[in-house]
Amino acid sequence: MTLGPDPLHVVHTDAAPAAIGPYSQAVRVGDLVFVSGQLPIDPSTGDFAGPGVREEAAQALRNGAAVLQAAGSSVRLVVKTTVLLADIADFATVNEAYAEVFSGGVLPARAAYQVAALPRGARVEIEFVAAVGA
């Protein structure tokens, strides 16, 4: 994590894909961290996980977990997610991967939307809001 203008702290980790535009992987303010939408990019190869949407969702979740860890948080402290889908018909399949990460304990609040398109032709993108150090 690198320090930005107080009270904002920019979060960056090489364990997740670099931002593909003019934004931060995450920004921490106080006891909250806001993680930008994570695509299913494998940070070691730069390629999408696959071949299916379930694998894409699992990679997006791994990427989010890596950014959360860099911010001093974890998936168990996630309070809200937003799931963007290229096809809402993939909702149940994405839920399978999601449930493997968010099981037991308090489940985060969530919204899921079908969108017209996602960057680089992804089928899923997931953003996170989490507590830090709780």
In the numeric block, which tokens belong to residue 61?
């979740």
Q: Could you report the per-residue pLDDT of 31-51, keeping only the tens digit for each?
A: 999 999 999 999 999 999 989
- Contact status, residue 25 vs residue 12, Cβ threshold 8 Å: yes
Question: What is the average pLDDT across 125-130?
Answer: 98
pLDDT of residue 128 exceeding 60 = yes
Please report, for the domain that includes residue 123, its CATH number.
3.30.1330.40
Domain count, the chain: 1
What is the tens place of the pLDDT at every residue in 46-82? 999 989 999 999 999 999 999 999 999 999 999 999 9
Closest to 126 (Cα-Cα) out of 73, 62, 77: 62
Total Cβ atoms within 10 A of residue 60 = 31
**Are the C-beta atoms of residues 42 and 49 closer than 8 Å to each other?**
yes
| pTM, two decimal places | 0.93
Range of the domain at 18: 2-131
